[in-house]
């Protein structure tokens, strides 16, 4: 019976039951992104309200990344040890509480402290949710589902751009923080009813609980499709029972060391390029002479391009494969960043910014699909968490470097630096990566 858990999950047809999980987890992702997006617009307002310098803006932006660095590393290990559901509930609660507190910030120091703890919760949640979703969805649809999960990030940034455009100029930045925090708390409440991963239960030797979750899922799917379920396929390899405290060491063992090196390079340079570009977009536009409202409107248009980027990746990731979607999309994003750095007219800024956003966020969707697939269930969340945590070092470094170098190398130099980072990430996947499309999690991790 124990060995059939994965086989039973793999044979389930994708239906409303899976999409409900996607929607609930995606809403949490949306409000996470909304808060991250709002801070880039808030910093534009605070530049004049608190007379912030460019290095101070970079420091405030990086404080959240520092929290994400700690949160991702700790939560991945905790999710493999104590369960996915428990950890993502605690991390979302931390995120929500400190999002509210950001609205009460009275100076730069208080904002930096609150943003650190917002990042702690956010960095802890994202790796765990992607691992959890990948353990429920069958191999034939897993790539599409995880990219669609990641696409909620674009909706969150879009919501942040709309709220910032309408609220900050008229009602101030504190109200924007409050608007982001309220719905995130609601998602925390409704997530309590979601099941734990049966694959995780099985990896812990908790076979009766795994059986109960799968039986309930089968019942829901049967009702949804209004008919009998397909026959269970061949039994898949039974996972080894996890040994506590062994996850980090296993990431560097012979079967996984190449994957770990590739993922750490990918995450570091992807996050460096992403935050080096998008955290600074409104500020760079204001520096170029555009008004705050005009800058916000340009960023809103550029943000819209993220959505078709995600959907294009969702269409391709299970057909072309994860490896080449990530590599090609990152190279196109890097190329667009170079042209964006040279853009002067509004039409050029919007065009190249949109191309950059389209490919960059499409690549992000594929990365969140790819990363949890490369490790066994017993270390999956740790593998994602440590890769994301190492990547956050790039997120800490990039905003600070941009703030320090902007005066000397200008927007063109800054964008060239970020484009180079994205190109390194693309090359790492092309050279060191393996293809995982269409393979079960148990097959990939052997």
**Cα–Cα distance for residue pair 259/434, rounded to 1 Å:** 8
Binning pLDDT at 50, 70 and 90, where does residue 235 land?
Answer: low
Using CA atoms, how far residue 185 sits from 66, 172, 189, 410, in Å, is 23, 22, 7, 40
Which DSSP letter does residue 103 get?
Answer: T
Indicate if the pLDDT at residue 3 is higher than 70: no
The position carrying tokens 């969707």 is 365
**Residue 244 C-beta-side C-alpha neighbours within 13 Å:** 5
Write the pLDDT tens digit of every residue in 247-272.
Answer: 688 889 888 999 999 999 999 999 99
Q: In the prediction, which pLDDT does 2 show?
A: 44
List Cα–Cα distances, 327 to 34, 42, 45, 181, 408, in angstroms. Answer: 27, 33, 36, 35, 31
Any idea how long the chain is? 446
Q: Per-residue pLDDT for 362 more than 60?
A: yes
Average pLDDT over residues 126-151: 88
Per-residue pLDDT of 415-440, as tens digits, reads 999 999 999 999 999 999 999 998 88
pTM of structure:
0.83
How high does pLDDT run on average in the chain?
86
| Burial (CB count <10 Å: 0-12, 13-18, 19+), residue 227 | exposed
Question: Is the pLDDT assigned to residue 363 strictly greater than 50?
Answer: yes
Q: Who has greater pLDDT, 241 or 419?
A: 419
* pLDDT tier, 95 (very low <50, low <70, confident <90, very high otherwise): confident
pLDDT given at position 49: 80
From CA 281, how far away is CA 277, in angstroms rounded? 6
pLDDT at 54 over 90: no
pLDDT at 292: 66
Tens of pLDDT, residues 305-339: 989 999 999 999 999 999 999 999 999 999 999 99
């Amino acid at each position: 019976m124990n060995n059939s858990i994965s086989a039973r999950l793999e044979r389930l047809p994708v239906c409303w039951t899976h999409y409900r999980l996607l929607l609930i987890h995606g809403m949490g992702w949306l409000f996470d992104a909304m808060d991250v997006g709002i801070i880039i617009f808030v910093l534009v307002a605070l530049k004049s309200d608190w007379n912030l310098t460019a290095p101070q803006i970079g420091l405030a932006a990086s404080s959240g990344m520092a929290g994400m660095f700690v949160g991702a590393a700790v939560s991945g290990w905790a999710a493999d040890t104590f369960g996915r559901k428990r950890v993502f509930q605690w991390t979302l609660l931390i995120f929500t509480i400190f999002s509210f507190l950001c609205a009460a910030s009275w100076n730069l120091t208080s904002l930096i402290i609150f943003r650190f703890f917002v990042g702690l919760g956010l960095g802890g949640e994202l790796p765990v949710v992607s691992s959890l979703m990948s353990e429920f969805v069958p191999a034939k649809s897993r790539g599409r589902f995880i990219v669609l999960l990641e696409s909620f990030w674009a909706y969150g940034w879009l919501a942040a751009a709309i709220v910032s455009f309408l609220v900050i100029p008229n009602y101030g930045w504190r109200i924007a923080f409050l608007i982001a925090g309220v719905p995130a708390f609601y998602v925390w409440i409704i997530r309590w009813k979601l099941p734990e991963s049966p694959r995780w239960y099985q990896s812990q030797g908790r076979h009766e609980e795994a059986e109960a979750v799968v039986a309930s899922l089968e019942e829901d799917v049967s009702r949804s499709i209004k008919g009998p379920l397909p026959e269970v396929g061949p039994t898949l390899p039974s996972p080894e029972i996890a040994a506590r405290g062994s996850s980090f060491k296993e990431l560097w063992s012979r079967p996984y060391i190449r994957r770990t090196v590739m993922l750490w390079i990918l995450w570091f340079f992807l996050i460096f390029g992403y935050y080096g570009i998008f955290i600074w977009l409104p500020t760079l536009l204001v520096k170029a002479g555009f008004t705050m409202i005009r800058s916000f409107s340009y960023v809103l248009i550029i943000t819209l391009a993220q959505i078709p980027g995600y959907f294009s990746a969702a269409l391709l990731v299970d057909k072309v494969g994860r490896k080449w979607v990530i590599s090609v999309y990152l190279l196109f994003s890097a190329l667009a960043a170079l042209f964006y750095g040279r853009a002067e007219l509004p039409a050029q800024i919007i065009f190249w910014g949109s191309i950059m956003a389209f490919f960059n966020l499409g690549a992000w969707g594929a990365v969140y699909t790819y990363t949890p697939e490369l490790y066994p269930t017993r270390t999956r969340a740790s593998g994602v968490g440590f890769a994301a945590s190492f990547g956050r070092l790039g997120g800490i470094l990039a905003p600070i470097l941009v703030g320090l170098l902007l005066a000397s190398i200008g927007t063109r130099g800054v964008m060239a630096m970020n484009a180079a980072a994205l190109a390194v990430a693309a090359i790492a996947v092309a050279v060191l990566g393996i293809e995982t499309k269409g393979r079960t999690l148990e097959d990939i991790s052997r």
